[in-house]
Structure 1
């Protein structure tokens, strides 16, 4: 590998002499600091920082990044303090080195947790200076190039982490060349046999294809010459990992993938791109629906190009990308291509602005996530390769991952819009919130004050931002509802002692909190509401100093039907307002309402710690499901008759199933939603009036 002198010569092609000298100084400092240390391969350790700097120099990175690359292991491996680096090389370089050092392994319970924690630290460091991640990516790339010296187990672990996190980050920052190398090296380390089989097959196919590739290339070059346009036509090779992914993911045979011929045409300016597109479309017929304009609407990582697929000679498909030199540079090196720090202009442009935006989003996810594993799950979702582009009603373009829904869109617009959305219009028609969005649609979100996120949204949202905010809002909602229910349960029990929360002295409450090792009284009420602690036991603890005994039976606790997440209705006996009911306290779930006669709670029915007497409040609201069994003589249009009758009584059929007993009699099971027992009686009366009805039974456990 070339030494520092050869490296300095390379740098002088794009850096000034003073900057090259600073990089040299950093190299000599690192060489001294790592003196005596060797890599696993036996080479002096300083060859590694030099190789990392070489990778960054390929991308024409600035001198501070190169200095940080030279010094990136100094703080961690040699015991030199950050302050010493600041004194030698300045604040910026020492901050970069510190940022990269903090991303190195720490000890955690599990590998997954370690990976997640590292990623969180990476997000923090990236937010301060995005060059940290570029140095880290170059460091990882050199380690991947020299994996052979490690044991098989360690090789596979590093390769897996590279494929799952580092390759998608490189992709997200638009660094195609680095991503491809990460993927191919990772693939080779993870699946050496498969990688070798694909390599051999590609080599063989390339030989067979040489003639046809040459012909297509020649016809494209001639086409450009005829139209008087200058452009470079290059045949594109599919890299091994992407062939493997397509074979696995799309269940395609190797020949199917290799039958597509790919070319890239590089021209001088944007205007020419569209002229070339017209020329190639007149040379070969385009595939309908396969044209994509990423110049007008760039991908989320800043990638720009025109993509089209053509029917070539003998019907062979030809994929063509048309772009300018600048776009080619951007596509290969992404955020590193136009380094912001080369100019004194502090406002980030293009890809850099997008990368900043992404990092900002990652940080927001981190603040909201419950723990590092939840955070990394969300970020992995967001390191998506495909996007859909949709419009707001005012014409602003929003980029979202493929498969996103209106809820993802709402959260992308603003958290408050997401939290209060109730429905949406897609291209001006009302649509379900769960409908996946397609590129080019205009999406309008309908919100309502006081609306709250629905737990069911978690089953279809795609973006990490939406998932995190929904979980966060549900946690807060659940907490406030649990506290509310816990307070009512505790007061209900205290009433049995002829007491009330307001009568309990503050010092007694503090003593009980200390006993339960809790900070605030709301935490205790939440525990009661969730069913983790029994109101009966807590009430006795609060009153124990006053020598009170078990409560006498107080009045039942009234429920309104609007208690939300911490109160649910048993599916076994489906109680409705008007039915005699009891509440069964279930740890973590809160209170489940059962019929008094329900067999499932007969064993705990009289245990005051597990069950509590309930009643329905006068202002109870909501719709409740009831299961009915109707036996009637078989007749034509039977289901339509039943539906009409239920509808006439303002009921609603949620579910219907038919079971024919014999040729004459049919048994129909209906799940009907009603307001209360009086409403149910009206529904049953309407059904009884039907001709041929023999018996109607309400089903309970």
Structure 2
């Protein structure tokens, strides 16, 4: 363990003005509080907060962060209280310890919703003071270093997966490359031990075979720089095992096909010399096309700056070279900690909001505001954290960073949420493009908006950024909720009046809310409007003793049918299971609505039409709103297992490239995936695209989704999605 005086000396070495007495006090307090507690490996528990503090000294963090590291487990695991921390160490440290403690408590839960809530609170906490994240990353790093002492394999893998999914990407986003690499490596070793060992073995063999080559490249680069009068420090670095494995998986290539296992770093004194060194390298080595990246003029979101270029080395192999200054190197290794403001003092309010300077963090905060559930937030933030960047420009030259695969719609939401909401079209490099167009590095994007435009449900399948998806979902959700409230009230009024001219009131509905364990009366009305709960079910819950003449007759009819079919009668009060389509009253014709094209797997409702039988609609079909005042015509129905075997027409909306053979390629893909085109309608034809509606006979929703996925992978198909109308 680090001794008390050693810890103080470490901090004083990079921050002479640090409060040594405060550090001593925290060291003694934490040791006393943890007392005889031990960890899974038998070590004194105090060794953990001490190691976390030691990791933070390597990042050269301020004394308050080191004290927080020492105390971060005291409130959770010892008799110490938050008030005690405040009295002993002041409000700033109490706030930091409180932030880390709340996260730790949530982290103990293994359910996905708890993990998501943990991450949501982490984002909120670090937006106020990013030191909470730095302490948490150091805490996670030491826990990963000792992960092998945990006896339960399931728990080890859960912690490793969480580290890989959340904490390593967060470390990357704030520029802590060393922390990210170690977290990924430790998690990789736990989750994929055989792959980890195999790659390490291959790397060891590569070092033996290429030792002379590496030294030769370093010597050659040094000689060329010296001849050009550039003072440069040359070094080589090896790609981490996890990075190698990820690239092999992503590109589906073998170890031997990787071209950047070894990278060489050229460190020069100034930015000008970075570009001079680039010129020297390109004049002596053949450039590999597509391998040049200038992160000096367009830094990464985490502040990383460097020039990357790929060249062919002396032996003909591909070599990656990175060119940077010492300041850039420091940021590359330490990220946000490299330009830390806390140890220099400064205004407390500025320090509180230091984390807000990061655009990606502001975007995560917007997702917190727009997401409805913690699981949804976790889904959207993973989209923000896990994708490489492309850099695009506004017409004024402002730089916008987006993940690979981002569309003009993502760009619009990245500029401003309001611009995204009112999007109507986009020009990329002066050319009008479809909404689904994938943006490339250097694209200039001009967005057209209209105050009459609002987000559409299909937009969610076009965007790739979490921010855009969360915003669209929120708008659609709010819009649907308003419609469901209106529809639900009409349905309830109709049923209550039909059953005996009852009035719907909050007083009557409150017991129903408690019965269904729903948050409020409004939520109950929404559930009725959305079809999750029937209006009749609400009525009979409010008036359980009421039995209408129609219900008595329906119960008698069902008993007769049950006797004929030798099965028990279904309750007539709406509280039983939905009626299978095949189990509807014999002789009652069943039709599938052409307005929404329901197929097995969709949530459905039946609508009784005099003389025509029952028409099956999807639960979200717009046509149903026309029958809100006639709840007696609605039937709670469900698909039979036998329904999935019969072909049903699913309708898709397609933009097809206007070129010879496109329609043939489309029909071939549909046929190869077991579908059959039963109808085709061309909506519009342009110079570049056909827009059309196609009916495809499929077995169920999964079958249709498979065909849609196959069509999306077809080069001649620009856009395809399920059509709900037309």
1:638 corresponds in structure 2 to none
State the distance in 2 between where 1:192 and 1:657 align: 45
Match of 1:465 among 464, 467, 482: 467
2:638 corresponds in structure 1 to none
TM-score (ref. length: structure 2) = 0.73
Shift of the 5–495 alpha-carbon distance from structure 1 to 2, 3 Å rule, reads: closer
State the distance in 1 between where 2:678 and 2:91 align: 78
State the distance in 2 between where 1:571 and 1:269 align: 75
Summarize the alignment of residues 107-256 of structure 1 with structure 2, pairs less than 5 Å apart. 110-151=110-151, 152-256=153-257
Give the C-alpha shift of residue 541 in structure 1: 9.8
> The residue matched to 2:442 in structure 1 has which SS?
coil
1:574 corresponds in structure 2 to 594
1:510 corresponds in structure 2 to 506
User: Structure 1, residues 428-484: CA drift from partner, whole Å, max 9, x if none?
Assistant: 222221211112112222222232211112223111111111111111111222233
**Larger Cα Rg: Structure 1 or Structure 2?**
1
State the distance in 2 between where 1:48 and 1:538 align: 56
Shift of the 19–491 alpha-carbon distance from structure 1 to 2, 3 Å rule, reads: closer
1:333 corresponds in structure 2 to 334
> The residue matched to 2:238 in structure 1 has which SS?
coil
Give the C-alpha shift of residue 26 in structure 1: 1.1
Give the C-alpha shift of residue 262 in structure 1: 1.5
1:479 corresponds in structure 2 to 481
User: What is the aligned residue count?
Assistant: 590
State whether structure 2 residue 390 is matched by structure 1 residue 388. Answer: yes
State the distance in 1 between where 2:521 and 2:410 align: 36
1:34 corresponds in structure 2 to 34
User: Structure 1, residues 333-353: CA drift from partner, whole Å, max 9, x if none?
Assistant: 10111112133455979x966
Summarize the alignment of residues 301-700 of structure 1 with structure 2, pairs less than 5 Å apart. 301-346=302-347, 356-489=358-491, 509-517=505-513, 523=523, 525-534=525-534, 572-574=592-594, 597=612, 611=633, 669-671=679-681
Shift of the 328–145 alpha-carbon distance from structure 1 to 2, 3 Å rule, reads: same
Give the C-alpha shift of residue 537 in structure 1: 7.3
> The residue matched to 1:422 in structure 2 has which SS?
strand
Shift of the 514–292 alpha-carbon distance from structure 1 to 2, 3 Å rule, reads: same
> The residue matched to 1:389 in structure 2 has which SS?
strand
1:684 corresponds in structure 2 to none
> The residue matched to 1:313 in structure 2 has which SS?
coil
> The residue matched to 2:592 in structure 1 has which SS?
coil
Shift of the 203–540 alpha-carbon distance from structure 1 to 2, 3 Å rule, reads: closer
Shift of the 457–209 alpha-carbon distance from structure 1 to 2, 3 Å rule, reads: same
Query: Is the Cα–Cα contact under 8 Å of residues 419 and 452 in structure 1 kept in the other structure?
Result: yes
State the distance in 1 between where 2:465 and 2:4 align: 45
Give the C-alpha shift of residue 528 in structure 1: 4.0
Shift of the 73–669 alpha-carbon distance from structure 1 to 2, 3 Å rule, reads: closer
State the distance in 2 between where 1:104 and 1:332 align: 27
Query: Is the Cα–Cα contact under 8 Å of residues 484 and 529 in structure 2 kept in the other structure?
Result: yes
Query: Is the Cα–Cα contact under 8 Å of residues 540 and 548 in structure 1 kept in the other structure?
Result: no
> The residue matched to 1:440 in structure 2 has which SS?
coil
State the distance in 2 between where 1:596 and 1:235 align: 81
Give the C-alpha shift of residue 218 in structure 1: 0.8
> The residue matched to 1:332 in structure 2 has which SS?
helix
User: Structure 1, residues 624-658: CA drift from partner, whole Å, max 9, x if none?
Assistant: xxx9xxxxxxxxxxxxxxxxxxxxxxxxx9xx999
User: Structure 1, residues 529-569: CA drift from partner, whole Å, max 9, x if none?
Assistant: 32345557778999999999879xxxxxxxxxxxxxxxxxx
Shift of the 488–235 alpha-carbon distance from structure 1 to 2, 3 Å rule, reads: same
TM-score (ref. length: structure 1) = 0.76
State the distance in 2 between where 1:393 and 1:24 align: 56
Deviates more, 1:335-344 or 1:101-110: 101-110
> The residue matched to 1:321 in structure 2 has which SS?
strand
State the distance in 1 between where 2:418 and 2:608 align: 33
Deviates more, 1:590-599 or 1:436-445: 590-599
Give the C-alpha shift of residue 330 in structure 1: 0.3
User: Structure 1, residues 170-213: CA drift from partner, whole Å, max 9, x if none?
Assistant: 00111001111111111112222321222122111101101111
Query: Is the Cα–Cα contact under 8 Å of residues 534 and 610 in structure 1 kept in the other structure?
Result: no
State the distance in 2 between where 1:225 and 1:592 align: 84
Structure 2 residue runs without a partner (length 5+): 552-589, 618-629, 636-648, 650-662, 669-676, 685-726
User: Structure 1, residues 348-400: CA drift from partner, whole Å, max 9, x if none?
Assistant: 79x96666443333232223212211111111111135111111222211111
1:680 corresponds in structure 2 to none
State the distance in 2 between where 1:411 and 1:261 align: 38
State the distance in 1 between where 2:150 and 2:535 align: 59
2:654 corresponds in structure 1 to none
2:76 corresponds in structure 1 to 76
CA RMSD of aligned residues (A): 3.8
Shift of the 514–33 alpha-carbon distance from structure 1 to 2, 3 Å rule, reads: closer
2:276 corresponds in structure 1 to 275
Query: Is the Cα–Cα contact under 8 Å of residues 608 and 634 in structure 2 kept in the other structure?
Result: no
> The residue matched to 2:239 in structure 1 has which SS?
coil
Query: Is the Cα–Cα contact under 8 Å of residues 509 and 542 in structure 1 kept in the other structure?
Result: no
